[in-house]
């Protein structure tokens, strides 16, 4: 009788009345709720400590990127490489065996040498000045729109494009003039342009040449006058360094950024020159070294007179690779 009563009590209790799967599910649910409560309390404590010590609630997790310093903005640029035939071209002695410097081979196809390119080397001779004069268009902002120049520098030589004008255009109210020459020094080139084309702007740059040469030496550690003197001494005055240059004159407002940005810097690494002397003369200047480190190039512009100069000089030495400017390494 007692045993029967005990059996009835066990059957009436919830634990006894529940099946085995239900009891397992109930146990798992309880354990899951317990673990969740404990984990939630731990995460809450850790988060409050982190906010109190390291971050504020309203601060972003990722800080905004700091702006780059002004010194790193467009002070150094390297132009694209030249072809092997362009890089090895010498305006004084190069003669193509395939085209004979005509630009066309025996089959009538364009040669791969510089003379077969769209902008072939100009046929300069010492003592002469090649001139190109053309019209300037003016944009809606009042700034002159630079045309494609028919005289310019490409690697180690001055190039020319067909259709050059050597006389002024009577009907054009806004014009440009480009004068190319070669000689022993940049000063010699400026003197030729000044006297043979009656270009007064060339004299402005001629007077500024000492400051330009000083800026070159500061940027490259190359003393151009000293290298010229060494060349004359080595050849006992019978030879000199080869220099080429172009003087540009604009009758309308052309900015230094426009002028310098229009130059072909293929084969060169360039850096901007700074200095009180240049600033006092109102000159914006860029100095470049060729990729083979044997040519120095200066590109100068004076906005007040609308005059620019782009010149190259081939050295007898190779500029050491460790040479760096004070502003930015070349």
Tens-digit pLDDT profile for residues 267-317: 999 999 988 999 999 999 999 999 999 999 999 999 999 999 999 999 998
Q: What's the chain's average pLDDT?
A: 80
If pLDDT is split at 50, 70 and 90, which confidence band does 23 have?
low
Do the domain assignments include residue 95? no
Residue 97 within a domain:
no
In a domain, 2, yes or no: no
pLDDT at 137: 86
Nearest C-alpha neighbor of 320 from the set 294, 288, 287: 294
Could you tell me the CA-to-CA distances from 104 to 8, 89, 162, 215 in Å, in that order? 117, 17, 16, 42
Provide the token pair at 89. Answer: 């071209």
Longest CA span, the chain: 140
Nearest CA to 129 out of 50, 197, 184 is that of 197
Rounded Cα distance, 99 and 163, in Å:
22
CA distance 205 to 307: 8
What residues contact 243, with CB distance under 8 A and at least 6 apart?
182, 183, 184, 185, 186, 188, 189, 311, 312, 313, 314
Token pair belonging to 275: 């200095």
Phi, psi of 270 (to 5 degrees): -120, 155
Cα 67 from Cα 254, distance rounded (Å): 30
* CA-based R_g, the chain, Å: 38
SS3 185: coil
> How far apart, in whole angstroms, are the C-alpha atoms of residue 279 and residue 200?
21
pLDDT at 216: 95
The residue behind tokens 């002695």 is 93
CB of 195 closer than 8 Å to CB of 210: no
Q: Which domain holds residue 254?
A: 125-314
**Residues composing the chain:** 330
pLDDT per position as a tens digit, 92-136: 888 898 999 999 988 899 999 999 998 999 989 888 999 999 888
Total structural domains within the chain:
1
CA separation for the pair 297, 308 (Å, rounded):
13
Q: State pTM to two decimals.
A: 0.74
Question: Residue 11 and residue 14: Cα distance in Å, rounded?
Answer: 8
Q: Is residue 165 part of a domain?
A: yes
Q: Is residue 43 part of a domain?
A: no
Any domain includes 34: no
For 215-263, how does the pLDDT look when each residue is reduced to its tens digit (9 = 90+)?
A: 999 999 999 999 999 888 877 666 678 899 999 999 887 899 999 999 9
Classify the C-alpha dihedral 145-146-148-150 as positive or negative: positive
Within-domain flag for 199: yes
In a domain, 117, yes or no: no
pLDDT of residue 5: 46
Strand (E) or helix (H) holding 298: strand 295-302
CA 71/CA 57 separation, integer angstroms: 36
Q: Give CA separation, 326 vs 75, 229, 257, 278, 300, in Å.
A: 11, 26, 22, 15, 19
């Amino acid at each position: 009788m007692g045993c029967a009563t005990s059996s009835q009590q066990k059957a009436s209790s919830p634990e006894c009345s529940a099946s085995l799967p239900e009891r397992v599910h109930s146990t798992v649910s309880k354990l899951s709720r317990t673990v969740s409560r404990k984990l939630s309390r731990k995460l809450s404590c850790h988060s409050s400590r982190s906010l109190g010590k390291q971050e504020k609630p309203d601060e972003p997790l990722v800080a905004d990127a700091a702006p780059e310093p002004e010194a790193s903005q467009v002070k150094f640029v390297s132009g694209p490489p030249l072809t092997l035939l362009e890089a090895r071209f010498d305006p004084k002695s190069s003669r193509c065996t395939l085209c004979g410097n005509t630009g066309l081979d025996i089959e009538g196809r364009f040669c791969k040498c510089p003379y077969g390119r769209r902008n072939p080397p100009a046929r300069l001779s010492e003592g002469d000045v090649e001139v190109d004069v053309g019209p300037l268009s003016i944009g809606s902002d009042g700034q002159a729109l630079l045309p494609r120049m028919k005289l310019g520098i490409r690697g180690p030589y001055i190039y020319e494009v067909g259709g050059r004008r050597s006389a002024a255009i009577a009907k054009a109210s806004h014009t440009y003039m480009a004068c190319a020459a070669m000689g022993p020094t940049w000063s010699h080139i400026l003197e030729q342009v000044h006297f043979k084309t009656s270009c007064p702007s060339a004299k402005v740059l001629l007077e500024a040449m000492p400051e330009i040469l000083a800026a070159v030496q500061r940027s490259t550690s190359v003393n151009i006058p000293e290298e010229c003197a060494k060349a004359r001494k080595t050849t006992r005055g019978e030879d000199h360094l080869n220099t080429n240059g172009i003087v540009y004159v604009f009758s309308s407002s052309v900015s230094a950024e426009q002028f310098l940005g229009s130059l072909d810097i293929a084969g060169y690494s360039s850096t901007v020159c700074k200095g009180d002397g240049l600033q006092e003369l109102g000159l914006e200047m860029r100095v470049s070294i060729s990729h083979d480190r044997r040519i120095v190039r200066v590109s100068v512009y004076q906005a007040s007179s609308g005059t620019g100069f782009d010149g190259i000089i081939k050295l007898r030495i190779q500029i050491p690779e460790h040479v760096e400017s004070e502003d930015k390494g070349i």
